[in-house]
Amino acid sequence: MPTQLIGAAALACIGVGFFFTTLILGRTPPVERPTLGARGYRRAKALEKGGLFALAEPAIRVIGGWFVDLPLGEARAKLQKRIAHGGEYLGLSTNEFYGLSLLSMIAMTAIGIGFTYAVDMPLLVPIFAALLGAYLPYLQLQGETQERFTAINRSLPTAIDLVSLCMGAGLDFPGAVKQVVDKSSSKERILVEELNRILSELEVGHTRRKALEGFADRCPTEAVRDFVSTVVQAESKGTPLGEVLAIQARMLRMRRSVMAEESAAKAGVMMMGPLMLMFVCVLFLLLGPFVAQWMTIGLG
């Protein structure tokens, strides 16, 4: 009898806890959908594409509201920087990204439990699936960031050359950048979007130095930092910016050539392992029948 009372009391406490938790979370307002700036643009583009994100976006905003009041100051600041490096990934705020991670963890846990009961797999599978689901948005953000950095590094030397030519024709720096943006074949190219953002910041009153440093913060690659440092120093020292940019473009191309040669040299070394495995497999295929025949004769 006492054991049954203790069990009933425990279930009652759990039920009351779930009730109040659901009540508190239900009363928490969802995160507002961004409509302005780079984040609003990214969210609109992501919703236009549809897919799973468009279906899950309302739930992500609701779950994101649960994280608003949590004391995650330093972790939130680091995540915000990573999202900015990813080009305002999906237009998500930090709280929405935490909501996406939690939603992904729940979905992967459900899939892991389903596989466990359907295929009779170990109970560790749901735990592994939950951890993978929680970390999956971070992997996607990291991949988006690397793709973005690579695209900017590849396009930057050509853009600098065009800016230098326009300045040589008599335009100032903002006018030259505007010509590059206007004459671009695709307005959705990553570097074109960043240059357009620099122009927007200049139009609202930011200094050239602040706008360029913001570009370096959003894309902290070596090529972008060198470009921003060159423009800022040329402006402070009064050096002709067109000539400096032409030299900078040549230096970036030389650096890309050196990096390509290094990658080609590393590729040969990295291919040795797979080639050796293939050689061993071919050797086994050739010698396998002879070994089997010799073992058969020996046993006979």
Does residue 131 surpass a pLDDT of 50?
A: yes
**231 closest CA partner among 247, 255, 253:** 247
Task: For tokens 């392992």, name the residue.
Answer: 273
Confidence (pLDDT) at 10: 47
| 107 Cα distance to chain centroid | 21
Residue pLDDT, tens place only, 81-129: 999 888 888 888 888 999 899 889 888 888 888 887 777 777 777 888 8
**Mean pLDDT throughout 40-49?**
86
Report how far residue 198's alpha carbon sits from residue 172's, in angstroms, rounded to the nearest whole number. Answer: 14
Convert the pLDDT of each residue in 236-264 to its tens digit.
Answer: 777 777 777 777 777 777 777 766 666 66
**pLDDT over 70 at 55, yes or no:** yes
The pLDDT, as a whole number, for residue 138 is 92
Q: Dihedral angle at the C-alpha atoms of 272, 273, 276, 278, nearest 10 degrees? A: -110
* Predicted TM-score (pTM) of this structure: 0.74
Mean pLDDT of the chain: 79
Q: What percent of the chain has pLDDT over 70?
A: 82
CA atoms within a 13 Å half-sphere pointing along the CA-CB vector of 72? 15
Q: Is 142 left (phi over 0), alpha (psi -120 to 50) or beta?
A: alpha
Domain boundaries, given as residue ranges, for the chain: 36-147, 148-263
Range 60-77 average pLDDT: 83
Of 1.20.58, 1.10.3470, 1.20.81, 3.40.50, which CATH number belongs to 148-263? 1.20.81
Q: Which residue has the higher pLDDT, 14 or 55?
A: 55
Alpha-carbon distances, residue 24 vs 19, 163, 184, 199 (angstroms): 9, 55, 51, 44
